[in-house]
Chain A
Amino acid sequence: MIEIKDLHFSYGESEILKGINLKIRKGEVFGLLGPNGAGKSTLLLHLNGLLKPKRGTVIVDGLDASKNSKEVRRKVGIVFQDPNDQLFSPTVFEDVAFGPYNLGLRGEDLKERVLEALKLIGMESYIHREIKHLSFGEKKRIAIATVLAMKPGILVFDEPFANLDFKGKQMIRNIIEKLKGEKTIILASHEVEYLTLCDRIALIDEGKIVKVGTPKQVLSDVKLLRKHNLDVPPLIELFLSLGLEVPKDLEEAKKSIGNFLSQNSK
């Protein structure tokens, strides 16, 4: 479990996080929704002690992240927004192996771990490819493998859907769906439609938590979302105006519309 208490953080004079309080339960998919510059990425960097709070604490499984960063980093894996920041080795194998190597794995164990992580994202055939020859979408998926190879209990994704085409977004979504239930997943995004797969969502803006609730509770408040410069997809607005639950995916949307039509035709 992650518990964030009264978290404050500043870059120089400008205060980015202004007293964040959050509890993220074990095994849940938690969404951080907010416009650009809301403080989402800064908050995520506190989760494994990469940034130290100015005030307040971040407790991960009973450990203070700022004081036990080494232990916490084994538990919390962060997938950065730009895969070029994450992938620094010449080949896929070397980059995916970097984390497990630092965990003490060597030889065949290390190779197995790398292959296992690549299999999870369906990219085992890329093991000897050079990173600079990969497309942006491929790099994004490999960036996920670099973290999965460390087998962390908590996975943090910073804008996982940013700059991807539809196919790329679906692939990342499928990977997250696959990991759901196995790990605690934290997703930071400003794309409302992709946060419907979360169990709970926190709306964050100007360094403060504005609202926390289920996707239905948060996304149904269209006025609030618009007030915080967030785009509400027409499909979600349609469902809300019909009084239906916000669907998690297209299949659920089809079922829901089907039920709605059959009930109303009677």
Chain B
Amino acid sequence: MYLPFLLIYALLVVTRKSLIELAYFGVVLGCLILMLKPKKSIFKHLGFLLGFEGFLFILALFNPGEVILVTPIGAITKEGIYSFFLLLGRAFLSSSVVVLVSNSLGFSKILAEMETLKFPRILVLTLAFTYRYLDLFKDEALRMKRALDSRAFGIGKLEYYKKLGALIGEIFARAYLRNEKIYMSMLSRGFGEFPKFETKKDIIPIALTMIVLLGVLL
């Protein structure tokens, strides 16, 4: 089960106070990559994540301390650089392990694990539906916005945003209608209860959890 591992790993990473400790978690992440053998495209995602989080924490570089470089926007300090890498390390390691596992295993398996761990069923099902319909919802919204843009010439900005507001309302109305149709489709297939998501026993996450806990204790 990867979910307990993810929770423990993320919790321990965000509470680390030194870069050396984070390096240990980095090694664990490296091992996970070797074991899961993810698709190459995942590294593009991780690269984007690193860049985004780096941008978020950039202000930490200017923390008070020993100045090592003066830039037009402020002085970069030694303590600032340390804080920057500490924050970046915490954020990147904790989020990339989630991205890595969910992309390699598939969202269904994560849901199955949630079910096994007795997460509330309504939460699991809501997540399953959200995952299934999010893209459809996004596509529908995009199509409607394109239709609006293609005919929204000659109107002022205020009018445009009013129409956009109405469009958002319409998207929700359509989602509601789709909801009814989906329910009908479920009823026509004898809806009583949802099948339980099945999980397979896997030794890798248990071993990794032990390694992570052992590292912290030492």
Contact = CB atoms under 8 A, between A and B. Distances in A.
Contact of B182 (A50, A70, A88, A101): A88
A98 B181 CA distance: 16
B7 interface: no
B184 interface: yes
Contacts of A103: 190
Contacts of A73: 187-190
A88 B185 contact: yes
Interface of A: 45, 48, 50, 69-70, 73-74, 76-78, 80, 82, 84-91, 94, 97-99, 101-103, 110, 128, 130-132, 146-147, 150
A45 B184 contact: yes
Q: Main SS of the interface on chain A? A: helix
A130 B106 contact: yes
A88 B186 contact: yes
Given A82-B181, A94-B197, A101-B195, A88 B129 contact: yes
Given A94-B108, A130-B106, 11 more contacts: A45-B184, A50-B188, A74-B190, A85-B178, A89-B128, A97-B195, A99-B190, A102-B189, A102-B190, A102-B192, A102-B193
B178 to A, nearest CB: 6
Interface string B59-94: 000000000000000000000000000000000000
- The interface centre, meaning the residue of B182, B194, B195 with most chain A CB atoms within 10 A of its CB, is B195
B108 A90 contact: yes
Interface string B113-137: 0000000000000001101110110
Contacts of A50: 184, 187-188
Contacts of B129: 88
Contacts of A89: 128, 132
B194 A132 contact: no
3 smallest CB-CB distances across A and B, nearest first, come from A102-B190, A99-B189, A85-B181
A160 to B, nearest CB: 15
Contacts of B190: 70, 73-74, 99, 102-103, 150
A80 B181 CA distance: 9
Contacts of A102: 189-193
Contacts, number: 81
Nearest to A111: B198
B97 interface: no
B128 to A, nearest CB: 6
Contact of B185 (A74, A85, A101): A85
- The interface centre, meaning the residue of A45, A77, A90, A94 with most chain B CB atoms within 10 A of its CB, is A90
A69 B188 CA distance: 9
B136 A84 contact: yes
B102 to A, nearest CB: 12
B52 interface: no
A78 to B, nearest CB: 5
A48 B188 contact: yes
A77 B108 CA distance: 26
26 contacts: A45-B184, A50-B188, A73-B187, A77-B188, A78-B185, A78-B188, A80-B184, A82-B181, A84-B136, A85-B178, A86-B185, A88-B182, A88-B185, A89-B128, A89-B132, A90-B107, A90-B131, A98-B195, A99-B189, A101-B195, A102-B190, A110-B195, A131-B132, A132-B131, A132-B136, A150-B189
Contacts of A131: 132
A110 B192 CA distance: 16
Contacts of A91: 106, 108
Contacts of A78: 185, 188
Contacts of B184: 45, 50, 80, 85
Contact of B186 (A69, A98, A132, A150): A98
